[in-house]
Chains A and B, each alone.
Chain A
Amino acid sequence: MREKLILSLAALGTLLLVWDFNTIFLHLPDEALQGAIYRIIFIHVPAAIGAYVFYSVAVITSAMFLVKKDFKYDSLAVACVEVGATFTLVNLVTGSIWGRIIWGIWWTWDARLTTQLICFLLYLGYLLLRPAVTEPTQRATMSAILAIFAFADIPIVVMAIRLKNVRTQHPQPVLETGGLDPSFWPPLLISFAAVLLIGTALVLVRLHQETSRREIDYLRRELHAL
């Protein structure tokens, strides 16, 4: 049942993505000022939003682990953080490629770029901490606390970077300003749906792996006890 669900989600997500790529690459015209490279927005923006959706699930499940001490919440949290961090990396890399073409540089310490990088570093710390702790309850509790601290830090990071009055080279977010051409909305929404479906499939795969690993760990401990 679980495998069928994962396969269905992944297949549906991939199909949507292929269909969307067909629209984006073969049917949408080039943008007046940026040319062909603007198409990266259809991956760049959904990856960023997708990452924050998974981080939000991770912080909720981390808090639930602390309250209920049920390991399934810890497994779900780590799966969501891994997928969220991957999407943040996709967002950073695609943004960097776009920057190289439009700005002529791979990186600048712009407000949005810096925020995303710090966010990636926060969750990288989370992923580095886990293998350093061997005892399962200890590992899950530490990770949950770290996930809550990291999530609380993100709005303060945004505020701190705005305070510095850094020059903002990043385009004004078209989703907020309403500057997106109506014909771009359907492919963007489909891309967002595809990112969420593929992300959820990846979370379920990692959840299954974490559950199996915990069972193996438990059996190994029992064997040692005998």
Chain B
Amino acid sequence: MTGWSAALAIARKDLQTELRTKESINASASFALVILVLFSFAFDLGREELLEISGGLLWLVYSFAGALIVNRSFARELPNDCLDVLIASPAPGWAIFLGKALSCFLLLMAVELISLPVFGIFYNVQWTGAFFSLLLVIALATWGITVVGAAFSAVTVNVRLRELMLPVLLYPILIPLLSAAMELTTALVNGEGLGGDNSAGVRLLVGFDVIFTSLAIYLVDFILVV
């Protein structure tokens, strides 16, 4: 079994477990919904103001939902010492990590694509016109969240108060990514395209993804022996 097929097998296993138990996707999607409702109480905004902060609202919801999903990624393997078995298996470390990151990515994308129309309906934001550009931004930023999230999920898997430590470590690292994603999303729902000034934001998302994917893959063997 090559590394790539091992990564796909691990991603498939995680997705299958998740589809059977639905433990993180249900919690994450419900949490996203609750936060969307809470925002409507927190801010009393006019249409113009709402459009200006729409990207920020959406990415706060996504980043909260993302932390819930990545938190379970490696913690799921703790009962019955499954993590030790995975590490002892012939699958290389990077394949285990990429498999985990891929399954988190698909789960978070699902939660995001469910909450996007809900966001559009609740806040009367038109997003369908720029759907494919928005999908590109969501996919790039979600990969960044899940790749750093899965790495930190592995780092904190044996830590006391894991559920609290992960967001404390994760969010400061994600600030540049979230900031660019928020700016781009606001621009897209306001009718702008991804060209011109906004292309710098896309380049930042790609750069973040490339840097942290390479760093995580390079360091994963140190992370997994932890």
Contacts and interface: CB of A to CB of B under 8 A. Distances in A.
A56 to B, nearest CB: 17
Contacts of B211: 152, 156
Contacts, number: 86
B204 A160 contact: yes
B173 A149 contact: yes
A66 interface: yes
29 contacts: A66-B219, A118-B172, A125-B168, A125-B169, A128-B165, A128-B168, A132-B161, A134-B160, A141-B222, A142-B155, A145-B155, A145-B222, A145-B223, A149-B148, A149-B173, A149-B215, A152-B212, A152-B215, A153-B172, A156-B204, A156-B208, A156-B211, A157-B175, A157-B176, A160-B177, A160-B179, A160-B204, A164-B179, A164-B183
B158 A133 contact: yes
Interface residues of A, number: 30
B37 interface: no
A159 interface: yes
Interface residues of B, number: 32
Interface in B29-52: none
A196 to B, nearest CB: 26
Contact of A163 (B148, B175, B183, B222): B183
A149 B211 CA distance: 10
A18 interface: no
A160 B225 CA distance: 33
Nearest to B198: A163
A146 interface: yes
Interface in A105-140: 118, 121-122, 124-125, 128-129, 132-135, 138
A41 to B, nearest CB: 27
A153 B212 CA distance: 9
A141 B169 contact: no
A150 interface: yes
A-side binding surface: helix, strand, loop or mixed?
Answer: helix
Contacts of A97: none
B121 interface: no
Contacts of B219: 66, 145, 148
A122 B225 CA distance: 24
Nearest to B169: A125
A122 B173 contact: yes
B180 interface: yes
Nearest to A122: B172
Interface in B133-185: 148, 151, 155-156, 158-161, 165, 168-169, 172-173, 175-177, 179-180, 183
B53 interface: no
B78 interface: no
A161 interface: yes
Contacts of A163: 179-180, 183, 200-201, 204
Given A129-B169, A149-B151, A138 B158 contact: yes
Contacts of B169: 125, 129, 146
A134 B155 CA distance: 14
Contact of B159 (A121, A129, A149): A129
B207 A156 contact: yes
**A-B pairs with lowest CB-CB distance, top 8:** A160-B176, A121-B172, A125-B169, A156-B176, A122-B172, A160-B179, A132-B159, A157-B176
Given A141-B225, A149-B173, A156-B177, 19 more contacts: A118-B175, A125-B172, A132-B161, A138-B158, A141-B222, A145-B151, A145-B155, A148-B215, A149-B151, A149-B212, A150-B172, A153-B173, A157-B175, A159-B176, A159-B207, A160-B175, A160-B180, A160-B204, A161-B176
